[in-house]
Amino acid sequence: MEDLARHTLRPMGYEVMTATDGPSAIQQIVTLHPDLVIASLTLPRLTAKDVLVTLRSQGLEAPVIVTAPVGMESMALRAFRLGARDYLSKPLREAEVVSAVERALVETRLRKEREALGQQLAETNQKLEEQVKRLTLLHGIGRAITSLDQLDQMTDRLLEGARFATEAEMGWLLLRDEGSSDLILRAQHGLPATVVARLGQAWDDGVAAALQLSGESVRLSRGGLRQLPVGQICQALLITPIKTKDETVGALAVANRQPREFNQSDQALLEAVAGYAAIAITNARLFRSLEARLGETSARAES
């Protein structure tokens, strides 16, 4: 076999490893996972049949070409039943070896291409399913906020949707106080008790205030969070501004305690939820304004 490797296969560009007995051959096959195995039915200690059985028991799918002296055809038939792809009689002829090797490697290449395509298809289907799930969620958020007239209910629902869409462990929603520039913590999930106690009050997460000026989403992780207040409670952060037509009125944030970073898709989804938040806030303000006007009209009528 070493002569075959040296004089025929290696000069053609193939990388070849050889073994002088069955146990060595099996060890190399299990370790290296070759694209093709050429095994003799007369290997010392363990034969090609033993090699075939071992390959199948290990779940290895490399094609096997068996070789044997003339007169051992019955043993070759047994090898075919165990999964051998081809049989060559000794003495081996170079042209037959090359032809058998090329046929077997074409089969290996096609099998790997099928496996790669199958994996790619499975990944694509998974991504499509996730996208449909998230788009369905966004549609549900849109429908939900149109049926709610209380701002607290809206903010809780929006935050719930933001966390679900991005698969985040925690989140919060800050809205600017209409009477000042303070950012008020309106909704939260998973924040420490010391922060939860500030619900309905001003809270500085170290990022949202800057977003009021930049108007741009921010993704941070580990090193970028160390100097910020929220760096004490999370290792990955995605935060986006909530913008109405004329101004930035708040921020919507999701975070992970572990360093699982957010990606561009997460950002797009969070920005979509923030868009719904802007609609909810605008609607709530209009509703309050309408209620105030009705109250004034009613008071004037009674007087």
pLDDT in tens, 51-83: 788 888 888 888 888 888 887 777 777 788 787
Residue (of 77, 80, 61, 64) closest to 22 by Cα position: 64
> What CATH number corresponds to the domain at position 161?
3.30.450.40
Lowest-confidence pick of 61-70, 80-89, 251-260, 288-297:
288-297
Torsion of CA 28, 34, 38, 42, to 10 degrees: 20
Banded pLDDT at 134 (limits 50, 70, 90) = low
* Distance linking the first and last C-alpha atoms of the chain: 111
- Summary mean pLDDT of the chain: 83
pLDDT in tens, 183-217: 999 999 999 999 999 999 999 999 999 998 889 99
Give domain status of residue 143, yes or no: no
Percent of the residues in the chain that have a pLDDT greater than 90, as a whole number: 24
Q: What is the DSSP letter of 180?
A: S
Please state, in angstroms and rounded to a whole number, the distance separating the CA atoms of residues 51 and 288: 80
Give domain status of residue 140, yes or no: no
Are both 157 and 277 inside the same structural domain? Answer: yes
Give domain status of residue 138, yes or no: no
Are both 100 and 223 inside the same structural domain? Answer: no
Inter-residue contact 79 to 52 (CB < 8 Å)? yes
Give domain status of residue 141, yes or no: no
Range of the domain at 166: 148-302
Are both 79 and 161 inside the same structural domain? Answer: no
pLDDT at 149: 53
Give domain status of residue 185, yes or no: yes
Residue type, 247: E
pLDDT at 183: 94
pLDDT at 300: 66
pLDDT at 192: 94
Are both 235 and 285 inside the same structural domain? Answer: yes
When pLDDT is averaged across residues 214-227 and rounded to a whole number, the result is: 90
Number of folded domains in the chain?
A: 2
Give domain status of residue 31, yes or no: yes
Are both 84 and 218 inside the same structural domain? Answer: no
Give domain status of residue 132, yes or no: no
pLDDT at 33: 86
pLDDT at 262: 95
Helix pair angle (151-166, 264-302), 10° resolution = 170
> What CATH number corresponds to the domain at position 70?
3.40.50.2300
